[in-house]
Amino acid sequence: MEETKERKIVVAVDESEESMEALSWSLDNLFPYGSNNTLILLYVKPSLSVYSSLDAAGFIVTGDPVAALKKYEHELAESVLARSHTLYHNFESDINIERRVGRGDAKEVICNAVEKLRADMLVIGTHDYGFFKRALLGSVSDYCAKRVKCPVIIVKKQPQNN
């Protein structure tokens, strides 16, 4: 029987339900039983400058704002990766999993990681912002889809049936 080539599939995860939807979709559709794929979970920590809008009063109590920010971002990364672990831990197939954490502008870090890791595919969730919000904020999924050299799957959050 012919051995199938291992594929590296990067799934970008963050605090959002949309990213967990993308991970769940990936597990259901890209990791059939016995697949020879590696799932690379990529979490991007924002630059410290992003936190500048936080209320400074919250840091007066801690004494060291930089240490408080680093502790917060570490806990946030661990929380996101723990949520991811819950999803793939219950998956029936054995999956090779790598956890990666980057820092900076999410769209740049994701594109650079996909290239550096020589990923075969990128899976990313979308917030499905409207036209004006997307024009103002930009879309990480759109940006990555236009720049990475591998196929990109953008997973929309499924509407809830009431």
Within a 13 Å sphere around the CA of 100, how many CA atoms are in the beta-carbon half? 21
Quote the pLDDT of residue 128: 65
Decide if 22 is inside a domain.
Answer: yes
Confidence of residue 112 (pLDDT cuts 50, 70, 90): very high
Residue 62 lies in a domain: yes
89 or 133, higher pLDDT:
89
Q: What is the rounded average pLDDT of the residues 60-75?
A: 63
Is the residue at 162 inside a domain?
no
pTM of the model: 0.75
Number of separate domains in the chain:
1
- Whether residue 140 is predicted with pLDDT greater than 80 in this model: the reply is yes
Query: What domain range includes position 34?
Result: 7-156
CA dist., res. 71 & res. 133, Å (int): 31
Alpha helices in 31-89 (DSSP H): 57-60, 65-89
Q: What SS3 class is residue 93?
A: coil
pLDDT value for 137 = 52
- Asked whether residue 32 is assigned to any structural domain, the reply reads yes
Contacts of 79 (CB under 8 A, 6+ apart): 15
Among 155, 159, 158, 160, CA closest to 23: 155
Confirm whether 2 is domain-assigned. no
In a domain, 111, yes or no: yes
What's the CATH number where 151 sits?
3.40.50.620
Model confidence at 60: pLDDT above 50: no
Of 55-59, 110-114, 117-121, the least confident: 55-59
Looking at residues 44-55, what average pLDDT do you find?
61
d(CA 155, CA 95): 20
